[in-house]
């Protein structure tokens, strides 16, 4: 696996080409700040005439040029609570884990609301609800990857490893097993939300790499 220094050097040499192909106006790298990050992450700004497919194309381009998957974040899309992590080099701490725990709880509640009053046959006929549940389960999986080890240990009854795998099993070009999803909504979602209801923070400040823009 390439080091952050190696990846930064590669991207610096390719910045002009990325600007031409994908509209990159600003580019930076930083080390892992949250548990869900890889060894190196990239933050970019694209020109106003570009869209999400340009971002996706840039991800593919960087993966091909570096030989590894790298998290790419849009500078304009960084949520306000996390901006100090990226732009000021602040270390991740218990507040960030609590933020993600609250989002997971909210997302679980959203799923229950989506399906309130429904029976399985209703769910099978409602593509909008299916899409909402699938997207929310995917988000829960990604959020779970950003929860600190300490916060996970504080909620031992939550199946963290399984939650983190949700993005890998919530959709496929071969089809989606809606029965499995419905059973999870009815049986697991309320239990997990209840287990997270008394969330606890973490006490240790996690070390992170400093941001670097070029």
Are 41 and 127 contained in the same domain? no
Q: Does any domain span residue 143?
A: yes
User: Which residue reads 């991740």 in tokens?
Assistant: 92
Q: Does any domain span residue 142?
A: yes
Q: Which domain holds residue 69?
A: 4-77
**pLDDT tens, N- to C-terminus, the chain (214 residues):** 788 889 999 999 999 999 999 999 999 887 655 655 556 889 999 999 999 999 999 999 999 999 988 889 999 998 888 887 777 766 666 777 888 999 999 999 999 999 999 999 999 999 999 999 999 999 999 999 988 888 899 999 999 999 999 999 988 788 899 999 999 999 999 999 999 984 433 333 333 343 445 5
Are 112 and 55 contained in the same domain? no
Domain count, the chain: 2
Are 153 and 66 contained in the same domain? no
Q: Does any domain span residue 82?
A: no
Q: What is the pLDDT of residue 201?
A: 34
Beta partners for residue 211, in sequence order: 30
Would you list the DSSP string of the chain? ---HHHHHHHHHHHHHHHHHHH-EEEEEEE---STT--S-EEEEEE-TT--HHHHHHHHHHHHHHHSS--EEEEGGG--GGGHHHHHS-PPP-HHHHHHHHHHHHHHHHHHHHHTTT--HHHHHH-HHHHHHHHHHHHHHHHHHTTS-HHHHHT-TTS-HHHHHTHHHHS--TT---HHHHHHHHHHTHHHHHHHHTT-----PPPP-PPEEE-
**What is the distance between the alpha carbons of residues 114 and 110, in angstroms, rounded to a whole number?**
6
């Amino acid at each position: 696996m390439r080091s952050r220094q190696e990846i930064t050097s590669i991207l610096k040499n390719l910045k002009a080409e990325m600007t031409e192909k994908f509209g990159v106006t600003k580019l930076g790298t930083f080390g892992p700040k949250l548990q869900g990050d890889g060894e190196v992450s990239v933050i970019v700004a694209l020109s106003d005439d570009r869209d999400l497919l340009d971002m996706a194309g840039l991800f593919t381009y960087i993966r091909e040029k570096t030989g590894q998957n790298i998290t790419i974040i849009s500078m304009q899309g960084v949520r306000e609570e996390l901006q100090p992590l990226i732009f000021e080099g602040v270390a991740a701490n218990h507040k960030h884990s609590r933020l993600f725990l609250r989002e997971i709880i909210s997302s679980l509640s959203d799923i229950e609301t989506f399906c309130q009053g429904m029976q399985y046959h209703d769910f099978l006929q409602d593509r909008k609800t299916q899409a909402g549940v699938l997207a929310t389960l995917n988000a829960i999986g990604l959020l779970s990857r950003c929860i600190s080890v300490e916060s996970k240990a504080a909620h031992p009854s939550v199946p963290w490893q399984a939650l983190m795998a949700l993005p890998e099993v919530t959709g496929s070009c071969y089809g989606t097993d809606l029965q499995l999803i419905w059973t999870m909504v009815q049986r697991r979602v309320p239990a997990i939300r209840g287990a997270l209801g008394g969330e606890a923070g973490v006490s240790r400040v996690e070390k992170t790499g400093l941001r670097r823009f070029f």
